[in-house]
Amino acid sequence: MNAVSDVLFFFAVLFIFAIGLAVLATVVMFVIDRTQKGDAVRRNYPVVGRFRHIFTELGEFFRQYFFAMDREELPFNRAQRDYVKRATTGKGNTIAFGSTRNLEVPGTPIFVNAPFPPLDEQAAKTEPMQIGPHCRTPYMAPSIFNISGMSFGAISKPAVKALSRGAKQAGIWLNTGEGGLSPYHLQGECDIVFQIGTAKYGVRDEDGNLSDDKLREIAAHDTVRMFEVKMAQGAKPGKGGILPAEKVTKRIAEIRGIREGEASISPNRHLDISTVGELLDFIAHVREVTGKPVGFKTVVSDDGPMRELFEEIKRRGDEHAPDFITVDSGDGGTGASPMPLMDLVGVTIRESLPMMSDLLVEFGLRERIRLIASGKLMVPSDVAWALAAGADFVTSARGFMFSLGCIQALKCNKNTCPTGITTHDPRFQKGLVPKDKFDKVANYAKTMIKEVEVIAHSVGVTEPRGIRRHHVRIVQDNGRSIRMDEIWPRPK
C-alpha cells in the first residue's frame, strides 16, 4: 500500500506542478499581451486573442481536408489534384457514378462529340513537330505536353532529378526555369529547354551580362534542345524572379553565378532588351551562338505590343522571327510573388491564347512560330482546349509538382515544403525519393497525352492537334453554350 500511495502522491504533485506551470504561463502571456502594442486583438483580449492566429493558420488545413467541396478550392481543387494522383499510378483513370463538375458554370468548355468518331484502329499518334527551321540544329519536339519552367532553387535537388528521369521516360521536354542548368537536369538525359531569365543565371559573366562562352557551354550538351528568353511570367508580370536568401545554398549560388545566402532577385526585365527590335536582335544572337531554336516567354494582355513585334518581323523577314512563343497565363503560379501581381496583373490564358494564335494567322506567321501554352493547364480538358484555341504545345509546372506528391500546402516560399519539392532543408527533402517518383512523373505525362487523344477521337479527329474551335462550346451566363469559333472567329 505504501508503494501505491507513493505513486499516487507523485502523480498528484506532478499534476499540481503542471497546473501551476500552466497558470504561470497564462499570467505571463496575459501581461505580455496586455502591454504589447502591435496586436489590438491580443491587447484587448489577452491570451484568448492568441487563438485567432492559431485558427487562422489551421484554416487552410481544415478547408482542404474537411470543408471544401471537390470543385471549390483555389488555386487547384480536390478533383484536379485527384486526377493527377490517379494518373500517376499508370493503372487507368476512371471514375464512377457521374461527374461532380457543374457544367453550367460560365466559361466551362464542352467538347462536341462526333456522330461517327474514328475507330480505335483509325486513331493516329501525334507526330513530332519541328521547331526552328532556320537553325543549324532544329528540334523535332515529340510531345504535345511538357514540363514548364521550374528553377533549381525554387525546387529541390531530388525534385529536379525525378522530373529529369520522368521526362526522359515519357519522351517530353523539361524546362530549366531561370535558375540555370544543374547537373541534376542532365542526369535523366531528357530533352531540355534552357530558360534565360532577366538575370541571365548560368549564362552571365562577372558583371551580369550575357556570356557567349557560357552559352556555347550550355549548347554543347546534346540534350539541351532549345533556349527560351523569359520576358514575363504569369504570376508576376513586370517583376523578376524571387528566391529567398535561405534557399540560396552554395550549390545554387555556384550554378547561378551569385553569392551564397543572399536573396536572388532578378531585374524586372532584360536590361539589354527595351524594344521589339532589341528582342529580335537578342534572339538572333543567341540562335547564332548556340545554333539551336530560340523563343521567348511572355504574358499577353493586349495585342498592341505583339502587333508591333510581328510588323517588325515582316519588315526584316520571317527567318528573323522567334522560333516559338510561350504564352503564360495571368493566373500562373510561382513560389514567391507580390500579391497585387499574383491577383491583378495579366490576362488569363483563356483570353490571351486565342488572341495570340489569331495574330499569328493574321500576319502569316502561324507555321513559322510555334505557339506554346502555359498556366494552370493540368487536366485533359485544359490541354485539349488549348490545342483547340491554337496551341502547338502545352506545358505545365504545377501539374508535375502534384505528380511528385505536392499537397498544395502553400509553403513554397518558406523553405518548409512538407513534401520536399520546394525546400532545401534535408529534413524535408528526405521525403522525396527520386527513384520512387520519376515513374509517377512519366505516368502522369503519358496518361495526360492518352486522354487528350481520347477527347480528340470523341470529337471526330484522329489526333489531338486536329481539334479545332468548332469542336468546343463555351457555357455562357444564361447557362447555354455557344461555339468557341463564334467567340474567337479566325481572321479572314
Mean residue pLDDT of the chain comes to 84
Helix (H/G/I), strand (E/B), else coil: 328:
strand
Cβ–Cβ < 8 Å for 241, 199: yes
Distance, in Å, from the CA atom of 391 to the CA atom of 145, rounded to the nearest integer, reads 11
% of the chain surpassing 70 pLDDT: 83
| Residue 370: strand pairing partners | 324
Distance, in Å, from the CA atom of 144 to the CA atom of 385, rounded to the nearest integer, reads 13
pLDDT at residue 402 in the model: 84
Distance, in Å, from the CA atom of 431 to the CA atom of 445, rounded to the nearest integer, reads 22
Distance, in Å, from the CA atom of 232 to the CA atom of 269, rounded to the nearest integer, reads 8
Dump pLDDT digits (tens) for 174-220: 999 988 999 999 999 999 999 999 889 999 888 889 999 999 999 99
Q: Which residue has the higher pLDDT, 312 or 59?
A: 312
Angle in degrees, 0-180, between the axes of helices 212-219 and 276-290, rounded to the nearest 10? 50
Helix (H/G/I), strand (E/B), else coil: 363:
coil
C-beta neighbour count of 173 within 10 angstroms = 23
Dump pLDDT digits (tens) for 118-140: 887 777 778 899 999 999 999 99
Residue matched to cell numbers 503519358: 446
Rounded to two decimals, the pTM is 0.83
Work out the burial of residue 195: count CB atoms within 10 Å of its CB; fewer than 13 is exposed, 13-18 middle, 19 or more buried.
buried
Distance, in Å, from the CA atom of 290 to the CA atom of 213, rounded to the nearest integer, reads 10
Q: How confident is the model at residue 460 (pLDDT cuts 50, 70, 90)?
A: very high
Distance, in Å, from the CA atom of 277 to the CA atom of 315, rounded to the nearest integer, reads 11
Q: How far is CA 22 from CA 17, 18, 19, 28, 33, in A?
A: 9, 6, 5, 10, 16
DSSP 229: E
